[in-house]
Amino acid sequence: MLDRPFRVLFLCTGNSARSIMAESLLKHWGAGRFVAHSAGSFPRGAVHPLALELLGRLRMPTAGLRSKSWDEFAAPGAPTLDFVFTVCDQAAGEVCPVWPGQPMTAHWGMPDPAAAVGSDVQRMLTFRTAFNELERRLRIFTSLPIASLDRIRLKQELDSIGRSSNESTAA
């Protein structure tokens, strides 16, 4: 058992929407058991305004959220990571840096709400759909008995969370 919270990194190419929302959600649902981070392979340099607006409306943590490079988490002195989750297909296909701590990884890909087109209402609905899916996944993740699962079983559980994409929200 760790004597510190689990450290989690969410990756996406632009680090402006999905990974940012996942970071905020884990800060909320992690209840001190997790330290959440997010980063991108090619960060946009700013958090998408609709992501911030939605998080604010839902009273989710937004302090400290910023679009940043994954290089920050591979550099000397970077925090040791326990988990790294890719939330976009493009980042999952890229060659990632070597992460400190040999973290467990899983791909939880989902459509990019930042790419949504249409009216403001339609675009916000796309962000809300992504948020709901990330929240579902993170509630499952935070409920796992991580300390009592061996690495093989834990990896199976993490992969299963990503494969269950939108099954509960499609109905």
Active-site residue (options: 17, 88, 134, 154): 88
Please return the burial class of 93, using the count of CB atoms within 10 Å of its CB with bins 0-12, 13-18 and 19+.
exposed
Q: Is 12 a catalytic residue?
A: yes
106 near 11, Cβ under 8 Å? no
The CA distance from 131 to 139, in Å, is 12
* Active-site residue identified among 8, 9, 11, 12: 12
Element (H, E) at 121: helix 120-143
Q: What is the largest CA-CA distance in the chain?
A: 48
SS3 71: helix
Of 96, 116, 124, 140, the active-site residue reads 96
37: tokens are: 């981070």
Q: Which residues contact 105 (CB under 8 A, 6 or more apart)?
A: 83, 84, 85, 86, 158
133 is annotated as an active-site residue = no
88 is a catalytic site residue:
yes
User: What's CA 155's distance to the chain center, in Å?
Assistant: 16
| Active centre residues (catalytic) | 12, 88, 96
